[in-house]
């Protein structure tokens, strides 16, 4: 949540562009009058998503991602599963890599140190994903998550079509770093347990700091406060700002880890140095032909 009077982080405020427009429309950055009904519609759409569909798409994306090595697998599976459920044709390794590249470009454009070139590249990546989702809506309106959105959170329920489109893309974006963090920490736990993990075990990992550790909110005085998620009973948030994608995230990761546990003679990877962000650590897994980082 952004401070009052500062709807955009400095790089986006300075350079503008498509990513700035997206950011300002994302539900997680707003607390205006439209927030509650739009959040409720999005929540209904996600709750209507079938567990069987989540499982099927996650297992398929896990199998494809394994061809790219462990580093790719731990990053690609969460976001590629959401993209596939939305109808994007995530049918091969190249498609997953393109998605990952665009999401990393968006991350670079949102960084505090992003320059004009990074923000421009991020905007181009975001525009490409928005276009792909519009195309998927026309080509595959019956894709599981596309269908539930159009039924329960259609554009007419949002402030405008652009806000609907921005928050549809946000489902992929929010699964990217946060999903990779939790999946990476789950892989580390699986090295100890030698079995797939259940939902309650993933929630325990999140409570222990293996996902998003904290988030920011604006109090009634307009001051920004840091709200802890790790170490609480609500690692996905609580109340009006609870993450509506908790079920989708946990279902995806359980299915992917179960698929992984079924692969004969599969050696789980040794971790390298994590990617450390302000509110999470994302485990990294060097490919087998690389030495782990110290």
Q: Give dist(CA 93, CA 28) in Å, integer.
A: 30
The CA distances from residue 184 to 68, 178, 278, in Å, are 16, 10, 17
Note the pLDDT tens digit of each residue in 72-123. 999 999 999 999 999 999 999 999 999 999 999 999 999 999 999 999 999 9
- d(CA 151, CA 165) in angstroms, rounded, equals 15
Domains defined along the chain, listed by start: 10-282 (1.10.630.10)
Helices 18-25/116-139 angle, 10° precision: 70
pLDDT(2) > 70: no
List, for residues 114-159, the tens digit of each pLDDT value: 999 999 999 999 999 999 999 999 999 999 999 999 999 999 999 9
pLDDT digits (tens, 9 = 90+) for 208-254: 999 999 987 766 666 678 888 999 999 998 877 789 999 999 999 99
Count of alpha carbons within 13 Å of 96, Cβ hemisphere only? 26
Q: Give CA–CA dist 11/60, Å, rounded.
A: 37
């Amino acid at each position: 949540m952004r401070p009052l009077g500062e709807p955009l982080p400095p790089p986006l405020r300075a350079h503008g562009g498509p990513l700035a427009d997206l950011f300002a429309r994302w539900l997680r950055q707003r607390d205006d009058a439209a927030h509650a009904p739009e959040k409720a519609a999005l929540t209904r759409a996600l709750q209507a998503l079938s567990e069987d569909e989540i499982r099927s798409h996650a297992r398929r994306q896990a199998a494809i991602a394994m061809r790219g090595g462990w580093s790719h697998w731990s990053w690609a599976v969460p976001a590629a599963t959401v993209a596939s459920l939305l109808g994007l044709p995530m049918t091969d390794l190249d498609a997953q890599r393109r998605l990952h590249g665009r999401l990393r470009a968006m991350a670079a454009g949102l960084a505090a140190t992003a320059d004009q070139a990074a923000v421009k590249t991020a905007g181009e990546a975001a525009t490409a994903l928005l276009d792909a989702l519009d195309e998927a809506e026309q080509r595959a309106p019956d894709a599981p998550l596309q269908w539930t959105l159009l039924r329960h959170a259609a554009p007419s329920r949002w402030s405008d079509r652009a806000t609907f489109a921005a928050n549809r893309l946000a489902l992929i974006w929010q699964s990217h770093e946060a999903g990779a963090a939790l999946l990476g920490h789950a892989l580390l736990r699986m090295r100890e347990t030698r079995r797939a993990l259940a939902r309650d075990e993933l929630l325990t990992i999140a409570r222990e700091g293996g996902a998003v550790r904290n988030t920011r909110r604006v109090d009634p005085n307009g001051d920004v406060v840091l709200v802890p998620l790790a170490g609480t009973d609500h690692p996905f948030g609580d109340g009006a700002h609870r993450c509506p994608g908790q079920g989708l995230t946990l279902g995806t990761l359980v299915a992917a880890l179960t698929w992984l546990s079924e692969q004969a003679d599969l050696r789980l990877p040794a971790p390298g140095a994590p990617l450390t962000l302000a509110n999470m650590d994302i485990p990294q897994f060097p490919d087998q032909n690389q030495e782990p980082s110290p």
